[in-house]
Structure 1
Amino acid sequence: MLEIYLLAIPFCFLIVFFSQFFRLGLLKAVLLSLLIAVTWPVSFVVLGFNRLFRSR
């Protein structure tokens, strides 16, 4: 699981960075990209545990 997380961070960063660069500018695009790249896998794990324990 950790390997997938570490591989997904750069791809998520690049996708968000290139999509937001022209709209927000360099600094805001970098900050938003880092925030989303680091937090989206964590949110999937939390949602998975929530769904797992809610069904019981």
Structure 2
Amino acid sequence: MELNFQRNLSALDRGIRVLISLVLFGLAAMGFINGWIATAASILGLFNLLEATIGY
């Protein structure tokens, strides 16, 4: 069985994902959001950054 994945993220999509991840990290780091919401925002930001980096 051969899996053939094609990239489905354009450069614009990747840029938007990086921007969103930076905003989420920034909100959590600066203390605008705190508690479990800050943790969730950091995790979502990490996943967005990974998706933008890998660009599956």
| Same fold (TM > 0.5) | no
Structure with greater proportional helix content = 1
Tell me the TM-score normalized by structure 1: 0.41
Q: Which of structures 1 and 2 has the larger relative contact order (alpha carbons within 8 angstroms, sep 6+)?
A: 2
TM-score, normalised relative to structure 2: 0.41
